[in-house]
């Protein structure tokens, strides 16, 4: 079922992208010099669809970086909570070992859940 839904979404996107590439295959000049239009210092000659695809990919990348940066406080909190949980687990293991009379030998392996 998941494969069908994935194909239901990806096939129309692929058709649209192929149509876009075929319709916009003429070479254009992308100039990154706003002051000298006649002889730009930085320019790229490429098919228009490559420039469009690169712009979309750049936008996805910037969005991912912004999302990752915005979630930084949650990742930090998760690290702090994990350290605290590990400390409490080791304390509980030490107390359990003392109660059983092992002489304070703690359990060292614990699976991460």
- Count of Cβ atoms closer than 10 Å to residue 47 Cβ: 14
Alpha-carbon 50 to chain mean position: 23
Residue 106 has pLDDT above 80, yes or no: no
Each domain of the chain, given as residue ranges in start order, spans: 1-29+43-47, 58-112
- At residue 49, does pLDDT exceed 60? yes
Given a cut of 60, whether residue 113 has pLDDT beyond it is: no
DSSP string, 52-82: HHHHHHHHHHHHHHHHHHHTHHHHHHHHHHH
pLDDT, tens only, 72-103: 999 999 999 999 999 999 999 999 999 988 55
Mean pLDDT, range 102-109, rounded to an integer: 56
Q: Tell whether the model's pLDDT for residue 51 goes beyond 80.
A: yes
Nearest to residue 97, comparing CAs of 85, 84, 110, 108?
Answer: 108
Q: Would you give the DSSP letter of residue 24?
A: T
């Amino acid at each position: 079922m998941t494969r069908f839904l994935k194909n239901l979404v990806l096939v129309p996107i692929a058709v649209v992208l192929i149509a876009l590439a075929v319709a916009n295959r003429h070479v254009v000049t992308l100039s990154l010099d706003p002051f000298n239009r006649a002889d730009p210092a930085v320019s790229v000659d490429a098919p228009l669809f490559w420039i469009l695809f690169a712009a979309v990919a750049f936008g996805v990348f910037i969005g991912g970086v912004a999302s990752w940066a915005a979630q930084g406080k949650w990742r930090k909190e998760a690290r702090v909570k994990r350290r605290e949980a590990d400390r409490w687990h080791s304390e509980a293991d030490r107390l359990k070992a003392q109660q059983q009379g092992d002489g304070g030998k703690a359990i060292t392996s614990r699976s991460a859940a």
